[in-house]
Amino acid sequence: MEYLIGIQGPDYVLVAADTVAATSIIQMKHDHDKMFKMSEKILLLCVGEPGDTVQFAEYIQKNVQLYKMRNGYELSPTAAANFTRRNLADYLRSRTPYHVNLLLAGYDDHEGPALYYMDYLAALAKTPFAAHGYGAFLTLSILDRYYKPGITREEAVDLLKQCLEELKKRFILNLTSFNARFIDKEGIHEVDNIPLAKVES
């Protein structure tokens, strides 16, 4: 039902998520933000079971902030991704595993941009592009076909729009609104011209 997508370029990461919060057949909220800001240059996109998503993402968020307070510098995206995966793995075989699927996107001043794919079984993979949800079945092949390593920001936004158009065309659920953000060395920026983004309440 929920959809996440990330595309990494040479000096940025573009991430987008749908903004629907639903319970069975009812859409309770159409402008729900599924991106959690870990630090100035790291975003965690989190979908899955209601309750687990917010609780897990806020737990990781507070721990990343605590690291910064204790040590005086921020966790890198790689370290944050591995920390997140470690927590998922530790809770997996407990009485209360977190059923969440994540994309962690960040920009490291030394290593550059990074996109990490994690799922509820605590898998972790650093990939140039990734998607979660039923929509991923329809859009991963588009990313395979049209992605190239030196992809520019305009091309990345076009590729994202192609993926969202494909969902609009072929996905049985009507995901009407998305929000998208860029992460680069200046920080996190909103993307304004995503189609289907304007829905009147």
Partner 1 sequence: MALASVLRAELAEFSPNFPKNFPKNFPKNFPEDFPDDSEGIPEILRDPPGPPRVLAAPPWGFEAEPEGPGLQILHGTTTLAFKTPHGVTVAVDSRATAGSYIASQSVRKVLPISGRMLGTMAGGAADCAFWQRLVARQCRVQELRNKEPVSVAAASKLLANLVYQYKGLGLSLGTMLCGWDKRGPGLYYVDSEGQRVAGAAFAVGSGSSYAYGVLDRGLAAAARSEEAACELARRAIAQAAHRDAYSGGCVRVMHVGPDGWREVSHHDIAELQDKYLE
- Using CB under 8 A, pick the residue from 71, 72, 73, 95 that binds partner 1: 95
What is the C-alpha separation between 153 and 149, in angstroms, rounded?
Answer: 12
* Structure token digits, residue 201: 């309440």
Name the one residue in this structure whose structure tokens are 């995966």.
85
In 3D, which of 43, 39, 48 has the Cα closest to residue 2? Answer: 48
Nearer to partner 1, 21 or 140 (CB): 21
Contact with partner 1 (CB under 8 A) among 96, 144, 145, 172: 96
* Count of residues touching partner 1 (by CB under 8 A): 20
Least distance from C-beta 56 to partner 1, angstroms? 10
Minimum distance between the CB of residue 160 and partner 1, rounded to whole angstroms? 25
* Contact assessment for residue 50 and residue 26, using Cβ atoms and an 8 Å cutoff: no
Residue 40 has phi, psi (to 5 degrees) of -60, -25
Query: In the window 43-62, what residues touch partner 1 (CB under 8 A)?
Result: 49-52, 54-55
Tell me: does residue 23 bind partner 1 (CB under 8 A): yes
Residue (36 or 129) nearer to partner 1, CB: 36
Residue 189 near residue 169 (C-beta atoms within 8 A): no
